Every structure is written in C-alpha cells, then in structure tokens.
Amino acid sequence: MKMLSYWKAILTVINCGIIAVHAADFDDLFQASWAPDHIVVQGAQIALSLDSSTGCGFESKNKYLFGKASAQLKLVEGDSAGTVTAFYMASEGPNRDELDFEFLGNVSGEPFLVDDIPIREFPNKEKKGVAYPRSQAMGSFEIDACQLSPDGADDPVVKCGKSGQFWWDKPVVKEVNKQRKRQLKWIRDNFLIYDYCQDVARFTEGILRECLQR
C-alpha cells in the first residue's frame, strides 16, 4: 500500500507547561501504559508521580499515520538529576518507528524553556534514499491527525488524502519558514551539545545519508 507523505519535514516544537486534557475525555482517548496507580486525573490536568519504585506513563488509544501531535509538560522541579520526562510517538512491533523528545533532569534545577521554538528538523529526503517514518501508525498525546483503524483496514489515501476537509489533505506541506530557520540556528548555536552527524567514532562506516542532505 502506498502511504501519503504531506510532511516535508518533521519539526520539533515543545511547549513546556502541564499535560492538559479534559477529564471526561481521558478514558475515551488515553490509557495507562504502565503504573496506572501513579496517574491521577485532576480536572484539566493529568498528574504523573515518580517514586523510588516506579514512574508511570500514558498513551493514546488510537494510532495515527500523519498529522500534528503536541503536549504541554511540566518537568520535575528542583534537584531532578536522574529523572527523565519524555514525550514520544511510537508504532508497534519489533521493527517500529519511534520519535523521542526526552528532558533530562539536572542538579541545579534550572528551568527548561523552549516554548514554541523549533529544536529539530528532519526533512523528508526519501527520494535520495533517506528513511522517513511515514509507513507505520503511531500513538501520542494531543492529536490532530489521520486516525487509522486498529486492524489496518483503512486505506489512508481514501480516508485521509482525498476528503479536502482536513489541513493535512490540502496541497500544502509542513516546512520551516525563514523565521523558524533563524530560531533553529540560534538553538543549535547556543545549546547543542551533541550532533550524531559529527560522531565519527560511533558511525565508523561514514556520514549518514540524512547528514549529507543538510
């Protein structure tokens, strides 16, 4: 089956705050991925607790092929060394696609603020041989995306690509404008501490294809 690709790039924009969702909708839209006793619905917020025995997490019940996913996260305050707050999208199975955005705690308790600023761009360069995650449906938090049936019976070309009623089935692609490019450059110049494209010790067989396309 040929899958659609309306995203020209994956653009990572994180809004730090709190995980918010209407309480009445939580059970309909989400489920605990582990430690449900550590998850408490508090009105329009979801409180996730971490103790010496376990953390916790929740995920969307539905899976999506493409679209927009977002979350507002409040990170662990104070001395948070050794903790990880993560927002990720993942498909199922042993050969799965996964996009992880992990916030590592620190001793000093310095705030992590990147509200509405792009921190990563992954252009779609499939025509040049670069793998792109667009063939497996993923689960996430707040979703504005093409929902597929659990058994994979839906044809995304028919369901999501020809109706004309959603933003993702218009002949417009998501890409980084000039202002976003300047913001992204500022982030990289001031805060980037590791770039796998420059890690020749790890990737001894040569520069990765996506790195050559920058």
- pLDDT tens per residue, range 50-94: 888 888 888 888 777 777 777 777 778 888 888 888 888 888 777
Select which of 59, 77, 92, 98 is catalytic. 98
- State whether residue 168 is helix, strand or coil: helix
Select which of 77, 102, 110, 205 is catalytic. 102
- Beta carbons of 13 and 120 less than 8 angstroms apart: no
Which helix (H) or strand (E) segment holds residue 89: the answer is: strand 84-90
How many angstroms separate the CA atoms of 166 and 61, rounded?
21
| Domain ranges, ordered by start, for the chain | 9-175
- Beta carbons of 156 and 65 less than 8 angstroms apart: yes
Fold of 9-175: Jelly Rolls (2.60.120)
Whether the pTM exceeds 0.85: the reply is no
Annotation says 175 is catalytic: no
- pLDDT tens per residue, range 93-142: 778 787 888 888 888 877 777 777 777 777 778 888 888 777 676 665 54
Q: What's the pLDDT at 189? A: 92
Annotation says 59 is catalytic: no
Lookup: tokens for 38: 């550590």
